[in-house]
Structure formats: C-alpha cells, structure tokens
C-alpha cells in the first residue's frame, strides 16, 4: 500500500515538473518570438552591405523604441530604413531594417541591440559576420600609382547677388530723389515770366493783351481790368507797394506825394494820364460805361508810354540796394537748397520706415531689428553649426561654435581623477556649453582589473556637485527637477533642469536663467553635458533646444 502511494506521488511530481518545463518553454518561445534579429548574410567582402532586420510583434497600444545611431560597432551603420508595419489581428508586426558594412577584413560580432517595448527592455542575440578581402588578379588587373592631390575650387557663394540687389535699390532710390527733388525741372511759361524784371513783365503782359480778343468781342470790362492791373502791378513792385489794393484816388495821391518829395521824377501830365485811364476803367467796370474801341486802344498805348516814363523816373539803385538785392537772391537760393535737403532727408526716412515695416510684417519686427543691430545669439543660431565628438568615450553634439578644450587635470590623493573638458562661454555669459568626461582610476587598478572591480558613480551626487558649484559662484534661487534622459541612440542617463538667478558680472546684478545638466556613466567614466543660458533670449532658447536634441553617446567598449 505504501509503495502504491509513493508511486502515485512520484507520478504526480513528475507531471508537475513536466508541466513546469513546458510552461517555461512556451514562455521562452513567446519571448523569443516577440523580438528577433536576422541578417541576410554572414559573410561579405570589404565595403559590401549587410541587411540587418529586427522583427517585433507587439500589441497595437505598445510603444516600441528601436536602436539608433552607431550602436552596431564594430560594424558601421550606413542607412536606417523606415519601419515596415503590418497588422495581424490585434497584433502589430514591426520590421526595422538597417544597412551595415565594414571596411576592414576580419571576424566581427554585431553586438546585442536594445529594444524598448512599453516599460520592458529586450535584447537581440549577437551575430557573427566574416568580412573578406577582395582578391585582385594582378595578371589581368593592372596596378596604378595613387593619383596626386588636385585643387578643388571653393564652392561659389551667392553673396554678390544680394550685393547687386542692394546696389540696384540704392541706385533706384538715388535716381528718384534726384528726379523729384534735385533735378532742375524745366520752367513753365508762368514761372519763366515770374523770373523776368517787373518792366519786362509789364511789357510782355501788354503784348499778350494785344493778342487777346477782348476788343473784337467788345469785352471792354475784361480789357480794362487787364490793362489797369498791368500798370498797378508795375507800380506796386517799383513805386508803391500798395498800389494793387489802393483806390484810384489813393494811388494818385501817393504818386503826387512821391513826386513832391522828389522820390520819383514823374511829371504832372504823366500822373494825370494814369489817373484818367484808371478812372475810365472804374466806370467801365462798375458803371457799365462803354467807351469807343479806338479810345480803348489809345488808353493801351498811353499805359505803354507811362510804364516807360515811370521806369525813367525811378532813381538808379545805390550800391547798397544792389548788395541787399544780391543778398536777398542768395538767401532765396539757400532757402531752396535747405528745402531740398530736408525733403531728401524726409524721403529717405520714409523709404527706410516703409522698408522696415514691409520686412517687419513679413518676418517679424523683432527679427528684422535683431538682424539690423547684429544680435549675437541670432547670428549664432543662423550661422554654420559644428557637429563634433568630444572626449573619450566620445560625446557627439551639435554646437553653434567649436567648443574650446580645457587641459586635463588630475586631482584627489586617493583617487586618480582625469577630467577632460570642452567649453563655450562662462557662468556670466548669455550662453554656456560644457562637455566633460571624468575618468576614475584606482591606484591599484591593475589589481582591480583582475578582480573585475569597478568604480561606482552616483549620478545624483555628480549633479549635486554641479549645483553646489553654481551656488558657490553666486547663483541664487535654484529650482531643480530631475528625470531620466535617453539620447536618440538609446543611451540612458539622468537629466537635472530648472531655473535660477545668475550673476551678470556686475556687482549685485542678476538675470533670469535656465540650466540643463545631463549625466551618463559607464565603467569608471562620468560623462556630462551642461547647458546654461538666458531664458529671456528667444534665440538662446532655440540654440539650447537644438543642442540638447543632438546629444548622443558612442558605445563604450568593454
């Protein structure tokens, strides 16, 4: 009986073990089926391409992160293709393809690749690849010397196009200013007449009156109005400056006074003739009198004679009067020139304002203003950026300028610490970029290597050390946040970021700033990227965002 019970227990235990083994195998198969990696060939010639595929089967809600960057070392990734997605019921089948190659012969191992699915991390199997040399049959293929270096012409720039456009605009503006302001414009007939002396103008006016048709049409009122205006205008300019608005009696009285005062040598008969014609004109204009046409012609002849008499009766201008007259003309010329200068300035300012407004509406007024004044941050953002590796192991990063190397240092008596640092700007600058690599080496490293010892690096302590350094250098009101940071090529690290009040270099003066500290660790290596900038500068914000998105770490070889 006991033997039978023991036999049943053994059978039950065996069944349980077998069931457990089957479950483990099924679970293992499920995991292996979820992430697989394959290559199209295990043997290539130097420079040929290997097609490396990672196939993942996931739920439609899972987020999958495939490896990026040079994570396939010692093989080089030459191309990363788009993910091929197919749906199978409630599952998604994702295939990520890479093009790999190697330019040295030998046996290589494609390392395990990390794939993140949701919150879990999976690794592919490592794969062996043989890279063979290319056999050259020198009996059929001739060998040639290496070709000498040749000079390559520098790529032409289009700066001259912008220069030509600017020059054409300046020429056009200059031409318009000359044409409308400085050019001596042809005078109209009225302007030419206005430049004549009063006597010549009066004679010309009488000639034009003869050419009119007033008398043929018996328009005596218009005729006498023109005739009396001619004599009054001449007297107004040469004898009495109120002759135009004075009545006939007032004008005649003034002429008599000037004659009696010996200021004009005009006879009584001349004054009488002028008075007679003026009064006759008053009768024609206001009393509708209609004298004979021949009398009107005679009055015209009399006015012509009296103009000559007035000219002869006027005294010759003294040298002082001539000088005053010359000074007056010169002053008028200066006024005209000043007027042209002010018009030119006003037109230029209006053109500049219109140009600024046009570009401001199209590109934004701040952008245009910063372009004109030469904003340093804007110039850095729009300039030629540099992609470079810093330190060993290398940190790959894009920066607006090449970072300056600071010589390595060794500190600490217990630990031999080697620091390699690259820097742009400083704590007081508008922007500060620092890339550093710190290597820890124990004094008994050779012994430690044999035992597999490794220097433990706490990223939180490393970041705290940077923050403490900020405070020691006068930074106030630091706000600190921390989170995990993953680079585009899947390197994991710690990110600390926040704001603070940073010194400007002027005593008791601070500016609002922002900072980001990235820390990564490998075997006895601490790698850091530190970004600090004035967050009130929108160009600095864009620069630092671009720098942050470019950070990648090359694989640290064991």
Burial letters 379-393, b for 16+ CB under 10 A, else e? ebbeeebeeeebbeb
pLDDT for residue 512 is more than 70: yes
**pLDDT tens digits for 308-317?**
998 888 877 7
Phi, psi (deg, nearest 5) at residue 108: -130, 160
Q: What is the pLDDT of residues 329-355, one digit of tens each?
A: 788 888 888 988 998 898 888 888 888
pLDDT for the residue numbered 29: 38
H or E element in which residue 522 lies: strand 510-522
Q: pLDDT for 262-295, tens place per residue?
A: 888 888 999 999 999 999 999 998 888 888 899 9
pLDDT level of residue 551 (50, 70, 90 thresholds): very high
With a cut of 60, say whether residue 32 has pLDDT above it.
no
**Looking at residue 364, what is its pLDDT?**
77
In this structure, of 98-102, 211-215, 417-421, the range with the lowest mean pLDDT score is 417-421
Compute the average pLDDT of residues 85-91. Answer: 81
pLDDT of residue 300: 92
Q: Quick: pLDDT tens for 223-233.
A: 999 999 999 99
Is 50 exceeded by the pLDDT of residue 6? no
Identify the sign of the CA torsion 194, 200, 206, 207. Answer: negative
Low-confidence winner among 6-15, 311-320, 366-375 (lowest mean pLDDT): 6-15
Most confident of 65-69, 82-86, 186-190: 82-86
How far CA 53 is from CA of 40, 66, 67, 554, in Å, comes to: 8, 11, 11, 21
Half-sphere exposure (Cβ direction) of 11: Cα atoms closer than 13 Å: 6
Interval 412-441 mean pLDDT: 80
What is the pLDDT, as a whole number, of residue 249? Answer: 92
Which pLDDT does position 432 carry in this prediction?
92
pLDDT of residue 321: 66
Q: Which tokens in the block code for residue 413?
A: 């008596």
Average pLDDT, the chain: 81
Cα(365)–Cα(459) distance, integer angstroms:
44
Q: At CA 181, angle to CA 175 and CA 187, rounded to 5?
A: 115
Rounded Cα–Cα distance for residues 59 and 76 (Å): 31
Instruction: Give pLDDT, residue 222.
Output: 92
pLDDT value for 275: 92
**Residue 129 in this model has a pLDDT that exceeds 50:** yes
- Residue 27, pLDDT > 50, answer no
pLDDT at 450 (0 to 100): 43
pLDDT band at residue 415 under the 50/70/90 scheme: low
Residue 141 has what pLDDT? 60
- Can you give the pLDDT at residue 332? 81
* CA separation for the pair 197, 237 (Å, rounded): 10
Query: Which pLDDT band, with edges at 50, 70 and 90, does 557 fall under?
Result: very low
Position 407 scores a pLDDT of: 65
CA pair distance 240, 252, nearest whole angstrom = 11
């Amino acid at each position: 009986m006991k033997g039978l019970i023991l036999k049943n227990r053994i059978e039950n235990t065996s069944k349980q073990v077998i069931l457990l083994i089957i479950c483990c195998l099924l679970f293992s198969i499920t995991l292996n089926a979820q992430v697989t990696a394959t290559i199209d060939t295990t043997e290539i010639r130097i420079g040929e391409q290997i097609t490396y595929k990672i196939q993942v089967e996931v739920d439609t809600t899972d987020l999958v992160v495939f490896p990026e960057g040079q994570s396939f070392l010692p093989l080089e990734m030459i191309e990363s293709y788009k993910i091929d997605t197919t749906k199978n019921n409630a599952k998604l089948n994702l295939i990520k393809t890479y093009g790999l190659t190697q330019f040295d012969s030998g046996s290589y191992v494609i390392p395990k690749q990390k794939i993140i699915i949701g919150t879990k991390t999976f690794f592919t199997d490592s794969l062996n690849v043989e890279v063979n040399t290319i056999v050259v049959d020198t009996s059929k293929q001739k060998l040639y010397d290496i070709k000498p270096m040749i000079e390559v012409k520098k790529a032409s720039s289009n700066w001259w196009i912008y220069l030509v456009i600017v020059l054409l605009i300046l020429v056009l503006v200059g031409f318009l200013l000359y044409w409308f302001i400085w050019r001596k414009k042809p005078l109209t007939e009225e302007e030419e007449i206005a430049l004549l002396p009063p006597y010549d103008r009066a004679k010309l006016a009488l000639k034009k009156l003869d050419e009119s048709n007033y008398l043929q049409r018996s328009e005596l009122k218009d005729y006498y109005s023109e005739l009396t205006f001619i004599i009054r205008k001449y007297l107004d300019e040469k004898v009495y400056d109120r002759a135009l608005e004075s009545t006939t009696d007032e004008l005649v009285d003034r002429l008599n006074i000037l004659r009696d005062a010996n200021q004009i040598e005009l006879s009584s008969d001349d004054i009488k003739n002028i008075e007679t014609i003026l009064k006759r004109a008053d009768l024609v204009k206001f009393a509708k009198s209609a004298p004979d046409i021949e009398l009107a012609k005679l009055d015209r002849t009399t006015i012509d004679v009296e103009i000559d008499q007035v000219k002869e009766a006027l005294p010759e201008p003294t040298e002082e009067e001539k000088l005053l007259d010359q000074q007056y003309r010169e002053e008028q010329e200066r006024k005209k020139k000043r007027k042209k200068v002010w018009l030119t300035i006003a037109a230029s300012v209006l053109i500049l304002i219109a140009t600024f407004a046009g570009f401001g509406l199209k590109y934004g007024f701040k952008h245009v203003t910063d372009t004109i004044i030469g904003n340093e941050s804007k110039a850095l953002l729009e300039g030629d950026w540099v992609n470079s590796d810093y330190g060993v192991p290398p940190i790959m990063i894009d920066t607006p300028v090449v970072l300056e190397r600071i010589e390595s240092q060794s500190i600490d008596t217990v630990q031999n610490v080697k620091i390699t640092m690259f820097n742009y700007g400083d704590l007081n600058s508008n922007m500060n970029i620092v890339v550093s690599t710190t290597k820890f080496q124990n004094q008994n490293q050779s012994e430690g290597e044999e035992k597999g010892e490794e220097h433990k690096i706490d990223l939180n302590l490393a970041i705290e050390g940077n923050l403490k350094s900020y405070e020691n250098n006068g930074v106030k009101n630091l706000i600190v946040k921390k989170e995990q940071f993953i680079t585009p090529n899947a390197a994991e690290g710690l990110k600390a970021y926040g704001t603070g009040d940073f010194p400007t270099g002027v005593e008791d003066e601070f500016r609002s700033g922002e900072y980001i500290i990235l820390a990564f660790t490998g075997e006895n290596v601490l790698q850091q990227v530190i970004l600090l900038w004035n967050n009130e500068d929108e160009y600095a914000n864009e620069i630092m965002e671009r720098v942050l998105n470019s950070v990648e770490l090359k694989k640290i070889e064991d």
